Amino acid sequence: MNILMKIYFNALKGIAFIYTGTRKLIRKMTVCVYQKGMFKKCGKNVTIGRHCAFLRYRNIEIGNNVCIGAYASFVATIANIHIGNNVMFGPHVTIRGGDHRMDMIGRTMFSVTDKEKLPENDKDVYIEDDVWIGCNVTILKGVRIGRGSVVGAGSVVTKDVPPYTIHVGVHAPYEAKRFTEDEIKEHERIIYGK
């Protein structure tokens, strides 16, 4: 009897394994392919995690070799979000390309339409090549994350991050150079042939 139970439970495990693998494959072949086709531009070898939300796909450009972690939320209603090549996003990353207009007397912020926004309310976000964005990072409008930079988990980015910089923090972020100037030249010579 004991042997029969083991065979039965092993068979159930096998069925569950096949079912889970099939579900993942179907999602990859349908949802992800459909989702990638909606972006303004989507390069090769792009992985999008589960439960991601992108508002205005047509305002988002993604390069090659990009991995977007689960539960990402990228929103740009007027401005654009530009993501370079070889970029990694941890889970729960938020990017916002704009703000609500809040200077109109006698109007609720909710009632202001995109057509009534000022140019400073929405600005493009640029994430250059070879960048790693940790989990739970928030990137706000008008920010440029320089090539080769790392943004540490939980950071809020409101200003540009220079190339090859490690940026960690919220109100008074800590920034340190990832490489010396000579190391940057050598790194770029090897990777980009410069």
The reply to whether 187 belongs to the active site is no
Question: For 144-148, 164-168, 173-177, 189-193, which range has the lowest pLDDT when averaged over its residues?
Answer: 173-177
Listed residue (127, 98, 95) closest to 112, CA to CA: 98
- pLDDT tens by residue, 72-120: 999 999 999 999 999 999 999 999 999 888 888 888 888 889 899 999 9
User: Is 127:83 a contact under the CB 8 Å cutoff?
Assistant: yes
pLDDT band at residue 39, thresholds of 50, 70 and 90? very high
State how far the Cα of 100 lies from the Cα of 72, in Å rounded to an integer. Answer: 21
Catalytic residue among 100, 167, 171, 187: 100
Identify the bridge partners of residue 168 per DSSP, sorted by sequence position. Answer: 174
- pLDDT tens by residue, 144-164: 999 999 999 999 999 999 999
Provide, rounded to the nearest whole percent, the portion of the chain with pLDDT above 70: 87
Instruction: Answer yes or no: is pLDDT of 121 > 90.
Output: yes
Q: How many helices (H) and strands (E) does the chain have?
A: 3, 17
